Protein backbone atom coordinates (compact mmCIF):
# COMPACT_ATOMS: atom_id res chain seq x y z
CA UNK A 1 0.00 0.00 0.00
CA UNK A 2 1.36 3.42 -0.96
CA UNK A 3 2.34 5.71 1.91
CA UNK A 4 3.38 9.35 1.78
CA UNK A 5 4.53 11.99 4.26
CA UNK A 6 2.18 15.00 4.50
CA UNK A 7 2.14 18.16 6.62
CA UNK A 8 -0.85 18.55 8.94
CA UNK A 9 -2.68 21.68 10.07
CA UNK A 10 -0.29 22.55 12.90
CA UNK A 11 2.83 22.17 10.76
CA UNK A 12 3.77 18.71 12.04
CA UNK A 13 3.99 15.77 9.67
CA UNK A 14 2.25 12.42 9.48
CA UNK A 15 2.00 9.41 7.17
CA UNK A 16 -0.91 9.34 4.72
CA UNK A 17 -2.30 6.19 3.07
CA UNK A 18 -4.05 7.34 -0.14
CA UNK A 19 -5.82 4.02 -0.75
CA UNK A 20 -7.68 4.36 2.57
CA UNK A 21 -7.68 8.17 2.69
CA UNK A 22 -6.39 7.65 6.24
CA UNK A 23 -3.54 9.17 8.24
CA UNK A 24 -1.48 8.01 11.22
CA UNK A 25 -2.48 11.28 12.94
CA UNK A 26 -5.11 13.95 12.45
CA UNK A 27 -4.69 16.01 9.28
CA UNK A 28 -5.81 18.99 11.39
CA UNK A 29 -2.65 18.72 13.51
CA UNK A 30 -0.66 15.60 14.40
CA UNK A 31 1.14 17.13 17.38
CA UNK A 32 -1.98 18.93 18.67
CA UNK A 33 -3.97 15.68 18.51
CA UNK A 34 -1.30 13.66 20.33
CA UNK A 35 -1.03 16.20 23.14
CA UNK A 36 -4.78 16.76 23.49
CA UNK A 37 -5.94 13.14 23.43
CA UNK A 38 -3.12 11.27 25.11
CA UNK A 39 -1.41 13.85 27.33
CA UNK A 40 -3.99 16.47 28.33
CA UNK A 41 -6.92 14.04 28.52
CA UNK A 42 -4.99 10.90 29.48
CA UNK A 43 -1.62 11.16 31.19
CA UNK A 44 -2.00 14.47 33.07
CA UNK A 45 -5.43 13.71 34.58
CA UNK A 46 -4.19 10.23 35.56
CA UNK A 47 -1.16 11.71 37.34
CA UNK A 48 -3.35 14.30 39.10
CA UNK A 49 -5.96 11.73 40.15
CA UNK A 50 -3.57 9.10 41.46
CA UNK A 51 -0.38 10.96 42.46
CA UNK A 52 1.57 8.00 41.07
CA UNK A 53 5.21 8.61 40.22
CA UNK A 54 5.58 5.42 38.12
CA UNK A 55 3.06 4.78 35.36
CA UNK A 56 2.77 1.86 32.96
CA UNK A 57 1.37 2.68 29.51
CA UNK A 58 0.24 0.47 26.63
CA UNK A 59 0.03 2.10 23.22
CA UNK A 60 -2.14 0.44 20.61
CA UNK A 61 -0.44 1.48 17.39
CA UNK A 62 3.13 2.59 18.14
CA UNK A 63 3.38 3.94 14.58
CA UNK A 64 5.53 7.04 14.22
CA UNK A 65 6.49 7.18 17.91
CA UNK A 66 4.90 10.62 18.35
CA UNK A 67 2.77 9.60 21.33
CA UNK A 68 5.80 8.11 23.08
CA UNK A 69 7.73 11.30 22.36
CA UNK A 70 5.15 13.67 23.88
CA UNK A 71 4.72 11.29 26.83
CA UNK A 72 8.45 11.42 27.53
CA UNK A 73 8.36 15.23 27.38
CA UNK A 74 5.50 15.50 29.88
CA UNK A 75 6.85 12.78 32.18
CA UNK A 76 10.27 14.48 32.24
CA UNK A 77 8.65 17.81 33.11
CA UNK A 78 6.70 16.20 35.96
CA UNK A 79 9.52 13.88 37.12
CA UNK A 80 7.39 10.77 36.49
CA UNK A 81 8.83 7.37 35.56
CA UNK A 82 7.23 5.64 32.58
CA UNK A 83 7.15 1.99 31.56
CA UNK A 84 5.92 2.17 27.97
CA UNK A 85 4.80 -0.74 25.79
CA UNK A 86 4.11 0.01 22.13
CA UNK A 87 2.34 -2.63 20.03
CA UNK A 88 2.67 -2.37 16.25
CA UNK A 89 1.95 -4.99 13.59
CA UNK A 90 3.58 -3.05 10.75
CA UNK A 91 6.54 -0.95 11.96
CA UNK A 92 7.23 2.35 10.23
CA UNK A 93 10.25 2.18 7.92
CA UNK A 94 13.50 3.94 8.87
CA UNK A 95 13.32 6.11 5.73
CA UNK A 96 9.85 7.31 6.74
CA UNK A 97 10.89 8.11 10.30
CA UNK A 98 13.74 10.24 8.98
CA UNK A 99 11.26 12.37 7.00
CA UNK A 100 9.03 13.17 9.97
CA UNK A 101 9.50 16.70 11.34
CA UNK A 102 8.38 16.29 14.96
CA UNK A 103 11.75 17.38 16.38
CA UNK A 104 11.82 20.49 14.23
CA UNK A 105 8.29 21.45 15.35
CA UNK A 106 8.89 20.69 19.04
CA UNK A 107 12.11 22.74 19.09
CA UNK A 108 13.53 20.57 21.90
CA UNK A 109 17.14 19.50 21.21
CA UNK A 110 16.97 16.65 23.75
CA UNK A 111 13.94 15.23 21.93
CA UNK A 112 16.05 14.44 18.86
CA UNK A 113 18.14 11.86 20.72
CA UNK A 114 15.08 10.34 22.38
CA UNK A 115 13.21 10.04 19.08
CA UNK A 116 16.16 8.39 17.34
CA UNK A 117 16.66 5.98 20.24
CA UNK A 118 13.05 4.79 20.40
CA UNK A 119 13.14 3.93 16.70
CA UNK A 120 16.56 2.27 16.77
CA UNK A 121 15.85 0.26 19.94
CA UNK A 122 15.35 -3.49 19.69
CA UNK A 123 11.93 -5.05 19.37
CA UNK A 124 10.61 -7.48 22.00
CA UNK A 125 13.15 -6.30 24.59
CA UNK A 126 12.67 -3.74 27.37
CA UNK A 127 15.10 -0.89 26.75
CA UNK A 128 15.89 2.01 29.06
CA UNK A 129 15.78 4.92 26.61
CA UNK A 130 16.52 7.57 29.24
CA UNK A 131 16.53 7.58 33.03
CA UNK A 132 12.91 7.07 33.99
CA UNK A 133 11.63 5.93 30.57
CA UNK A 134 11.63 2.23 29.69
CA UNK A 135 10.28 1.10 26.32
CA UNK A 136 9.22 -2.30 25.04
CA UNK A 137 8.18 -2.46 21.38
CA UNK A 138 6.13 -5.52 20.47
CA UNK A 139 5.55 -6.51 16.86
CA UNK A 140 2.20 -8.28 16.84
CA UNK A 141 -1.47 -7.92 15.99
CA UNK A 142 -3.72 -6.29 18.56
CA UNK A 143 -5.86 -9.43 18.56
CA UNK A 144 -2.89 -11.31 20.06
CA UNK A 145 -2.63 -9.17 23.20
CA UNK A 146 -3.23 -11.30 26.30
CA UNK A 147 -1.86 -9.06 29.08
CA UNK A 148 -3.70 -9.15 32.41
CA UNK A 149 -3.88 -6.15 34.80
CA UNK A 150 -0.52 -4.75 33.67
CA UNK A 151 -1.21 -1.15 32.67
CA UNK A 152 -2.36 2.07 34.29
CA UNK A 153 -3.12 3.80 31.00
CA UNK A 154 -3.88 2.73 27.43
CA UNK A 155 -3.42 4.99 24.43
CA UNK A 156 -5.79 3.49 21.85
CA UNK A 157 -4.50 4.93 18.57
CA UNK A 158 -5.46 2.34 15.95
CA UNK A 159 -6.52 3.30 12.44
CA UNK A 160 -10.12 4.49 12.34
CA UNK A 161 -13.18 2.24 12.50
CA UNK A 162 -14.10 3.32 8.95
CA UNK A 163 -11.14 1.38 7.52
CA UNK A 164 -10.46 -1.22 10.24
CA UNK A 165 -13.71 -1.82 12.17
CA UNK A 166 -12.38 -5.10 13.59
CA UNK A 167 -9.94 -3.12 15.77
CA UNK A 168 -12.83 -1.31 17.49
CA UNK A 169 -14.80 -4.40 18.48
CA UNK A 170 -16.05 -5.92 21.72
CA UNK A 171 -13.31 -8.56 21.33
CA UNK A 172 -10.53 -5.94 21.26
CA UNK A 173 -11.95 -3.77 24.04
CA UNK A 174 -12.35 -6.86 26.22
CA UNK A 175 -8.61 -7.40 25.81
CA UNK A 176 -8.00 -3.75 26.70
CA UNK A 177 -10.19 -4.03 29.81
CA UNK A 178 -8.30 -7.13 30.94
CA UNK A 179 -4.93 -5.49 30.29
CA UNK A 180 -5.71 -2.53 32.58
CA UNK A 181 -5.23 -2.47 36.32
CA UNK A 182 -8.28 -1.57 38.41
CA UNK A 183 -9.09 2.14 37.92
CA UNK A 184 -6.94 2.14 34.79
CA UNK A 185 -7.88 4.47 31.95
CA UNK A 186 -8.10 4.14 28.16
CA UNK A 187 -8.13 7.25 25.96
CA UNK A 188 -8.78 7.45 22.23
CA UNK A 189 -9.49 10.09 19.59
CA UNK A 190 -12.57 8.12 18.47
CA UNK A 191 -16.13 9.07 19.44
CA UNK A 192 -18.36 6.81 17.30
CA UNK A 193 -21.45 5.42 18.98
CA UNK A 194 -20.48 1.85 18.04
CA UNK A 195 -17.09 2.29 19.73
CA UNK A 196 -18.69 3.67 22.89
CA UNK A 197 -21.20 0.80 22.98
CA UNK A 198 -18.42 -1.79 22.61
CA UNK A 199 -16.55 -0.19 25.54
CA UNK A 200 -19.68 -0.18 27.70
CA UNK A 201 -20.42 -3.81 26.85
CA UNK A 202 -17.11 -5.04 28.27
CA UNK A 203 -17.53 -3.07 31.51
CA UNK A 204 -15.90 0.32 30.99
CA UNK A 205 -17.34 3.53 32.40
CA UNK A 206 -17.19 5.85 29.37
CA UNK A 207 -17.00 9.65 29.11
CA UNK A 208 -17.46 11.80 26.04
CA UNK A 209 -15.00 14.70 26.17
CA UNK A 210 -14.10 17.60 23.85
CA UNK A 211 -11.98 16.33 20.97
CA UNK A 212 -8.78 17.70 19.42
CA UNK A 213 -8.89 20.26 16.57
CA UNK A 214 -11.13 18.94 13.81
CA UNK A 215 -13.08 16.58 16.09
CA UNK A 216 -16.03 17.54 18.28
CA UNK A 217 -15.61 14.69 20.77
CA UNK A 218 -13.33 11.88 21.95
CA UNK A 219 -13.73 9.04 24.46
CA UNK A 220 -12.15 8.22 27.80
CA UNK A 221 -12.95 4.85 29.40
CA UNK A 222 -12.19 3.79 32.96
CA UNK A 223 -12.00 0.31 34.47
CA UNK A 224 -13.68 0.92 37.81
CA UNK A 225 -13.08 -1.03 41.02
CA UNK A 226 -14.05 -4.66 40.59
CA UNK A 227 -16.32 -5.99 43.34
The pLDDT of residue 109: 85
CB 98 within 8 A of CB 120: no
Q: What is the pTM of this model?
A: 0.96
pLDDT in tens, 130-159: 999 999 999 999 999 999 999 999 999 999
Q: How far is CA 149 from the centre of its chain?
A: 18
As a whole number, mean pLDDT of residues 48-73 equals 97
DSSP code of residue 99: H
Burial level of 128, CB count in 10 A (0-12/13-18/19+)?
A: exposed
Q: Select from 179, 15, 180, 172 the least CA-distant residue to 91.
A: 15
- Phi, psi values for residue 128, rounded to 5°: -85, 105
**Mean confidence (pLDDT) of the chain:** 95
User: Would you place residue 227 in the very low, low, confident or very high pLDDT band (cuts 50, 70, 90)?
Assistant: very low
Amino acid sequence: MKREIIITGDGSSTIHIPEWNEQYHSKHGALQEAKHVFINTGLIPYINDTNKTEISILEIGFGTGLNALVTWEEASAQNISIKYTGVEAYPVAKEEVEKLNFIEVLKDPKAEFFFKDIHSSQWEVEMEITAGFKLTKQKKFFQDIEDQKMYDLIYFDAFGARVQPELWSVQIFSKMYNALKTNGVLVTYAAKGSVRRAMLEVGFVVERLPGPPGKREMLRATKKLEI
